[in-house]
Amino acid sequence: MVVSQGRGVVIVDAGGGTVDLSSYEPEDSASDTENKISFREMTRPQCHFTGSIFVKDKARQYLQNKLADSRFLEDIDHICECFDKTTKLTFKNTNEPAFIRFGRARDRDLDVGIKSGQMKLSGEVVAKFFEPSIHSIMNAVISQQKSSANNVDVVFLVGGFAANDYLFRTLTEFFKPTGLNLYRPQNYLNKAVAEGAASFYLDHFVASRIARWHYGIKIDEYFHASDPEHVLREQTSFIGPVSGQQMVPNFFDTILSKNTKVAETTEFRRRYVRNFEDEPQFKRDPLVESILCYRGKQQIPKWIDDDASNYPVLCYVETHAQIPPIRRSNRITGKTYYEINFSIILSFGLTELEAQIAWTENGVEKRGPATIIYDN
């Protein structure tokens, strides 16, 4: 399989639980003498919960009904396991019957197709167990093709589910009229993740990716009477207990926008201010910020309470860096408070999110490491 310059490839990782899709195109070499090939993402990746486990689920639903009046209903867990480990893997076409070998030679119930310890199913029936997963892959690949800037003519199928001949043959026949050529490795399909991880570390073939969502943090905005959106939300505004300034809550401050092309070395940063009533407080407690990702349909998300269910917490960024404070005075009460100015820096180009905290000290930018804490 060769991917030509200006053409794209869709990688379909069909596993047990999910089907993950990513689209790539070759990237121009920095030098004519370079032999290294690198790729960049063409569009946002997708993840669908339609892996091979759902074929087993469909089979179980069918068998539950078929065996409802049979004494073998109590063996349905074992029968489903046998289907999953043998019948599902070896199923090839609709023209031949499939058999689930689960019992002993004397096990028999001809009313439900059980004879000599095995259950006979028509090829058409077994094919229906595969339909939701196959249609999901078809639709997802076409979606990747349509949303990619360059022409996609190659689909590469990997993962444990890719070893199934019926899946591969059905997808091949479907994609042919669309101009898509489907390929899969000849051996060791279920090692795609491990081999891909090793390749990423050693070769760095993928040079840039596409951000799947909007990423940012929740902040309180300073109220501006000239901003129509602020005026509409004035009833929710409040006076900051430390600074004494009028604030508007629930603003989503975007650090990285969806569909942005992200290279390994690209940093995305935003500057923030935090106020404290006393100096020991921020010296004693770590600085913790929640990183949110917006998964809704708004093109430019701004207000979290407009679509609250689509702003899950991705992770928390925590640092113990000692950022020098600025001493301020509350203009209403005259009380002293302390302000720290810092930037959150996020890097999304690698397989894992990386974060740093930056601040300026005596005119020089300094950085401290930040810990990424994922919410369980």
Total number of domains in the chain: 2
* Same domain assignment for residues 252 and 205: no
pLDDT in tens, 279-311: 766 677 778 888 898 988 898 999 999 999 999
83-97, 205-219, 353-367, range with greatest mean pLDDT: 83-97
User: How confident is the model over 160-176, as a mean pLDDT?
Assistant: 93
Give the pLDDT confidence score for residue 198 in this predicted structure. 40
* Same domain assignment for residues 251 and 161: no
The two structure tokens encoding residue 184: 């899969």
Please check whether residue 218 is in contact with residue 290, taking contact to mean a CB–CB distance below 8 angstroms.
yes
158, 187, 210 - which closes a domain? 210
Burial, 54: exposed, middle or buried (Cβ in 10 Å; 0-12, 13-18, 19+)?
buried
pLDDT in tens, 111-147: 999 999 999 999 999 999 999 999 999 999 998 888 8
* Same domain assignment for residues 300 and 348: yes
175, 210, 245 - which closes a domain? 210
* Same domain assignment for residues 141 and 177: yes
* Distance between CA atoms of residues 117 and 198, nearest Å: 44
The two structure tokens encoding residue 303: 């207000």
User: How confident is the model over 155-163, as a mean pLDDT?
Assistant: 90
* Same domain assignment for residues 363 and 218: yes
The average confidence (pLDDT) of the chain is: 83
Confidence of residue 101 (pLDDT cuts 50, 70, 90): very high
329 or 183, greater pLDDT: 183
* Same domain assignment for residues 309 and 365: yes
Q: Containing domain of residue 344, as a range?
A: 214-373
| CATH code for the domain of 120 | 3.30.420.40
Ranking 76-80, 136-140, 276-280 by mean pLDDT, the lowest is: 276-280
With a pLDDT cut of 70, the percent of the chain lying above it is 84
Give the pLDDT confidence score for residue 197 in this predicted structure. 47
Whether pLDDT at 207 is above 70: no
167, 189, 210 - which closes a domain? 210
- DSSP state at residue 259: T
* Same domain assignment for residues 43 and 136: yes
* Same domain assignment for residues 287 and 327: yes
Please check whether residue 163 is in contact with residue 92, taking contact to mean a CB–CB distance below 8 angstroms.
no
User: How confident is the model over 67-75, as a mean pLDDT?
Assistant: 93
Q: In terms of Cα–Cα distance, which of 87, 76, 84, 89 is closest to 122?
A: 87
* Same domain assignment for residues 270 and 145: no
Place of tokens 């990183």: 291
pLDDT in tens, 261-274: 777 678 899 999 88
* Same domain assignment for residues 24 and 121: yes
* Distance between CA atoms of residues 150 and 153, nearest Å: 10
Tell me the CA distances in angstroms from 204 to 8, 40, 184, 327, 347, one per residue in order.
18, 11, 21, 47, 16
* Distance between CA atoms of residues 36 and 27, nearest Å: 10
* Same domain assignment for residues 199 and 235: no
Give the pLDDT confidence score for residue 149 in this predicted structure. 64
Give the list of residues 6+ apart from residue 2 with CB closer than 8 angstroms, or none: none
* Same domain assignment for residues 206 and 218: no
